[in-house]
Structures are given as C-alpha cells and as structure tokens.
C-alpha cells in the first residue's frame, strides 16, 4: 500500500536532488584542491593517486561524491532515467553557487539568470508529476553497447583533435561527462539484475576513465569549464538515452507538454551555466 500517489517516483526524485547536491559540491571541492596540487600525470599513476588520496580534504570530497553515486543508483531503481537526469541537471546551478563560494568571485548576472531558468524547469517538472511517468523498457543490449562505444569514441575526439578549438580544460570536462553519462545509461540497465549485471564492467571502466580525465582537467581549467561541462553532459545525455535506449515516453496532453518544457528549461539553464565561463590559459601540463 502506498502512502500517496506515485510514492516511488517522488522518493526517486528526492534522491536525485540529493545526488545533485552531493555530486556538485564534491566536484567543486575536488577542483579547488586538485588545481593547487603539483601536476598529476598518467605516466605516474601511483604517485598521482597517492597525491590525491593522501589529501584529507580531497578524500572527504571524494567520499561525498561516492555517497551521491549511491543515491543516484537508488533513484534509478525508483524513477525513470530521463526524470532522474532532468532533476540532476538542475544541480548545475548548485555547482555555480558552490564555485562562487569556493573562489570568492561573484558570478555574472547572466549566469544567475541561467540558474533561474534551470530552477523554473525543476518547478515545471514537479508539476508534471501529477501524471506519473512511463518507466520505458529494459532496453536492448546492442543499443546499450552502441551507446558505450560512441561515448568512448567521442571522448577521445574531445581529448584529441577537438581540444585545440575549446577553452582550457573544456575538452577534459566534456570527455569526462561523456564517460559518466555512458556509465549512467549502463547503470540503468544493470539495476534490472540477471544478465544485465554484465553491464557493471563497462560501467566501472567508464567511471575509472571519467575519474582520471576530470582530475587532469581540474589542473587545466576552472570549475565551470571542467566540472560544469562535465555535469552538463552527464545530465543531458542520459535524458536522451532514456528516450532512445529505454523508450521512456512523457505523458500526453498538457502534462506531457509541461514535462517537455521542463526538460528544455533544465538542460538550457545547465548548459548556459556550464559553458559561459572563458577561463584564462593555464600552463601546459605533461600527460
């Protein structure tokens, strides 16, 4: 017996909000600390990992991020992927707040407008819940595998040939976001159990790559250019994945239109916050 209509959906979205707060605070805290460390290098993995995990404040921030990931997995078990990601996407506004508090620099008014747009999207999303939501289907393994492959290839492009055309650190932020988004899509499949548990392998591989890429990015660009772009990709792409891979559909009529407007507002606000900053060029670092 449910205490109120759509009980599991509401609890899932509450967990999604907690996920957004944990992830974005963790990212800003990690950026603040990592950007002040000696240059990390994938050629010295043990030394680089020791530098990170031996730093008490960084470790606390990392653990908060892990807690956020646990909340995310629980949210996926209770609510559709596209709704969970739409709520999480609005959390980029929190990233802007945390970044301002961490650096002491005031954000431009236009960036706060973008945060407001994302907030309006969350209000619309909450109003649209009166119609419930379509959970979609389990998805096909070929579609999920294709999503992983395309994500990895695009990440390589943003780290390589596309990087010179982007702001410092932005390519790393986008590549990490692609990896995290692929992991999110795989996680949605894995929570169904059975043979879908095999998806855990590429999920953890993607998380490992994303972790490495984002830490290197933190030393190359500011928070909104790295964690911001990563957060935008992480949240926007699985919304698309929910529709294309898991066949999630919004309700019809007015509520359906309201939910679509909510998705657009949340993603547009998140994109504006994440992409607005033009950081200064840092000194090149060795890989």
For 259-286, how does the pLDDT look when each residue is reduced to its tens digit (9 = 90+)? 788 878 877 876 676 554 554 444 444 4
Q: What is the mean pLDDT of residues 104-127?
A: 73
pLDDT surpassing 50 at residue 153 = yes
- pLDDT for the residue numbered 256: 79
Whole-number pLDDT of residue 150? 95
**Angstrom distance (rounded) from CA 156 to CA 146:** 16
pLDDT band at 193 (very low <50, low <70, confident <90, very high): confident
Angle between the N-to-C axes of helices 229-244 and 141-159, in degrees from 0 to 180, rounded to the nearest 10: 160
pLDDT tier at 202 (50, 70, 90 boundaries)?
very high
The answer on pLDDT for 165 being more than 70 is yes
Q: Please state the pTM of the whole predicted model.
A: 0.75
pLDDT value of residue 31: 93
Tell me how far apart the alpha carbons of residues 206 and 73 are, in angstroms, rounded to a whole number: 16
Most confident range, picked from 70-79, 81-90, 98-107, 243-252: 70-79
For 160, list phi and psi in degrees, rounded to 5: -110, -100
CB burial string 210-239: b at 16+ within 10 A, e below:
bbbbbbbbbbbbbbbbbbbbbbbbbbbbbb
The more confident residue out of 193 and 277 is 193
Per-residue pLDDT for 52 more than 50? yes
Percent of the chain with pLDDT over 70: 83
- Mean pLDDT across the chain: 81
Torsion angle in degrees (nearest 10) through CA of 77, 81, 84, 85: 140
For tokens 């096909």, the residue is 140
Please, which residues have CB within 8 angstroms of residue 222's CB and are 6 or more apart in sequence?
31, 99, 169, 277, 279
Average pLDDT for 81-106: 75
Pick the more confident residue, 26 or 227: 26
Q: How confident is the model at residue 199 (pLDDT cuts 50, 70, 90)?
A: confident
């Amino acid at each position: 017996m449910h205490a109120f209509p759509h009980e599991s959906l509401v609890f899932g979205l509450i967990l999604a909000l907690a996920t957004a707060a944990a992830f974005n605070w963790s990212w800003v805290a990690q950026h603040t600390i990592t950007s002040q460390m000696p240059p990390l290098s994938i050629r010295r993995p043990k030394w680089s990992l020791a530098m990170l995990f031996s730093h008490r404040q960084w470790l606390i921030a990392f653990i908060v991020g892990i807690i956020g990931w646990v909340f995310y997995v629980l949210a996926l078990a209770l609510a559709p992927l596209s709704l969970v990601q739409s709520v999480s996407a609005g959390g980029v506004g929190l990233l802007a707040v945390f970044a301002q508090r961490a650096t002491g620099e005031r954000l431009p008014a236009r960036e706060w407008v973008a945060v407001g747009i994302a907030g309006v999207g969350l209000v619309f999303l909450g109003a649209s819940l009166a119609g419930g939501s379509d959970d979609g289907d389990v998805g096909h393994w070929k579609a999920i595998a294709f999503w992983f492959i395309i994500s990895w290839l695009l990440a390589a492009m943003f780290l390589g040939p596309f990087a010179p055309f982007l702001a410092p650190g932005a390519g790393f932020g986008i590549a990490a976001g692609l990896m995290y988004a692929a992991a999110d899509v795989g996680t949605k499949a894995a929570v169904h159990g059975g043979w879908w548990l095999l998806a855990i392998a590429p999920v953890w591989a993607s998380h490992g790559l994303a972790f490495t890429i984002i830490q290197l990015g933190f030393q190359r660009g500011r928070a909104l250019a790295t964690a911001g772009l990563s957060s935008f990709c992480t949240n926007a792409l699985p919304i698309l994945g929910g529709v294309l891979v898991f066949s999630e559909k919004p309700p019809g009529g007015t509520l359906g239109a309201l939910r679509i407007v909510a998705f657009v507002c949340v993603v547009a606000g998140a994109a504006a916050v994440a992409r607005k900053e033009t950081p200064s060029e840092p000194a090149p670092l060795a890989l």
